[in-house]
Homo-oligomer: A and B are copies of this chain.
């Protein structure tokens, strides 16, 4: 039987010309649908109704596509700025906004957190907001990069564990014979653990900031 396929490229004009941004956008759609590992230069070309080799005129190779998609998403992140709210609340909002983005593109974000060390750039809204909040919280300038790195690593780390399912597996382990009517409500575990991690790191920072004025600070 004849396969029903679109006419070979060239007989039908492509709606949009091939561009770098268009390639990234199409790649993101494929990644959202099927995961990073399923992305193929050939499938990507098909999705764009192009010849696989045409992509190489706009993009050097597959790795550049993945980095480009990650950069695109990392740059697009936006968060509202509550200039005069307490820093605890501002950092909570930043983290949940970032988590919302992660839930919108879970496959890409899980990949980026572990494979793209430069996924979050210093000029990105996320990083700018994070350092501004910690600065306003009273973190000494000399420790700002260190503390920002710490908070950033915790947020992306917990998100990674949530996105790949480890957080759910761990938090639902061994519901250890509670009281008498062992009724452990499922609750929305992931939400709880994320909030819990956030609250705990915030409390830790509060303790650290309360013990201020000592010479070396975070040093040891």
What is the interface of chain A, defined by CB distance below 8 A to chain B? 110-111, 113-115, 117-120, 122, 127, 131, 141-142, 144-150, 152-154, 156-158, 160-162, 164-167, 169-178, 184, 187, 189, 192-193, 195-197, 199-208, 218-220
Contacts and interface: CB of A to CB of B under 8 A. Distances in A.
A45 to B, nearest CB: 22
A120 B166 CA distance: 9
A28 B178 CA distance: 41
Given A150-B158, A150-B197, A187-B219, 18 more contacts: A114-B160, A117-B166, A142-B176, A142-B178, A148-B171, A148-B173, A149-B170, A149-B173, A150-B200, A153-B166, A156-B160, A192-B218, A196-B218, A199-B204, A201-B204, A202-B204, A203-B208, A204-B207
* Dominant SS among interface residues on chain A: helix
Nearest to A205: B200
A1 B33 CA distance: 49
B141 A167 contact: no
A19 B189 CA distance: 40
